[in-house]
Amino acid sequence: MNRSVRIASSILSADFADLGREIAASERGGADLIHVDVMDGHFVPNITIGTPVVKAIRRVTTKPLDVHLMIEEPDRYIDDFVAAGANMVSVHVEAVHHLHRTLTLIRNLGAQAGVVLNPSTPVVALDEIIADLDFVLVMSVNPGFGGQAFIPQALDKIRRVRGLLDRRGSAAPIEIDGGVDTSNAADIVAAGATILVAGHAIFGAPDAETAADPEAATRALRAAAFGAISRA
Ligand code: DX5
Ligand code: ZN
């Protein structure tokens, strides 16, 4: 079984005034991807960042940019995000009318296409689209904010998504997003996810008096995730 695990640092919890340094620190700790949460205040109740920031990040890192679109009508913006430097683009099942068209658009632009399942989205939503996706993002919180608690049912969902993909001959990796930290990384990897998104666990300061240390936090998360592999 291919057990290469990747850590995707979610900049949502980073210091936006010091993004370059935050990303560099996480990279020193072993970050494999930079996860960018795009929110529009409609699909989710929060507004974050758009293409100019993706373009700026592109200049300061060589890591793949994993752009998670939590916006309505994503088809209108996918071209711009890929042009800005996105390597992976994921869309929520509920945000698009024609998922096959959207995934094809992403792939035709040369990026990897991901399908995101909200905690309440059934696994069967993937059924007709497996051949057209490059990865599946399983949400382990309701999208919209960083720093939320991991919803434990996500572990079983990862197993069911992995089972479905395997049965259909798809090697597409599963990405998990929301509430990931050193306490649950081993269980997440054991369940079958290989891309672990983490924001608060990497960029959030443990308390007001302790400065955040994204390098050490990324390293700790990697160790926790890889611990699951050596145990397996
Ligand atoms: C939530 C976002 C996540 C978020 C994860 O809607 O999709 O990527 O940044 O943050 P943590 O790791 O803090 O739960
Ligand atoms: Zn995300």
pLDDT in tens, 29-74: 999 999 999 999 999 999 999 999 999 999 999 999 999 999 999 9
pLDDT of residue 3: 58
Tell me the best of 7, 9, 10 to mutate to test the pocket of ligand 1, counting ligand atoms within 8 Å of each CB and taking the most.
Answer: 10
pLDDT of residue 98: 98
Q: Which residue has the tokens 């059924």?
A: 127
Residue 179's nearest CA partner among 208, 217, 140, 212 is: 140
The finding on whether 74 has its CB within 6 A of some atom of ligand 1 is no
Residue 2, classed as helix, strand or coil, is coil
The finding on whether 114 has its CB within 6 A of some atom of ligand 1 is no
Q: What is the DSSP string of 137-195?
A: EEESS-TT-SSPPP-THHHHHHHHHHHHHHHTT----EEEESS--TTTHHHHHHHT--E
d(Cα 115, Cα 70) in Å, to the nearest integer? 11
Q: Please check the confidence at residue 208 and state whether its pLDDT lies above 80.
A: no
Per residue in 85-144, pLDDT tens? Answer: 999 999 999 999 999 999 999 999 999 999 999 999 999 999 999 999 999 999 999 999
Model confidence at 212, pLDDT cuts 50, 70, 90, reads confident
How far away, in angstroms, is 138 Cα from ligand 2 center?
10
Tell me the best of 16, 19, 34, 37 to mutate to test the pocket of ligand 1, counting ligand atoms within 8 Å of each CB and taking the most.
Answer: 37
Average pLDDT over residues 8-13: 98
Q: Could you tell me the pTM of the whole model?
A: 0.96
The finding on whether 37 has its CB within 6 A of some atom of ligand 1 is yes
Tell the residue nearest (CA) to atom 4 of ligand 1. Answer: 146
Model confidence at 6, pLDDT cuts 50, 70, 90, reads very high
**Would you state the structure tokens that stand for residue 79, as one six-digit string?**
């071209």
Is the sign of the CA dihedral 4, 171, 80, 148 positive or negative?
Answer: negative
The finding on whether 64 has its CB within 6 A of some atom of ligand 1 is no
80 noted as active-site residue? no
Model confidence at 2, pLDDT cuts 50, 70, 90, reads very low
User: Which residues, at least 6 apart from 200, have a Cβ–Cβ distance to it below 8 Å?
Assistant: 13, 146, 147, 179, 181
Q: What is the H or E stretch that residue 10 is in?
A: strand 6-10
Catalytic site residue from 32, 40, 177, 181: 177
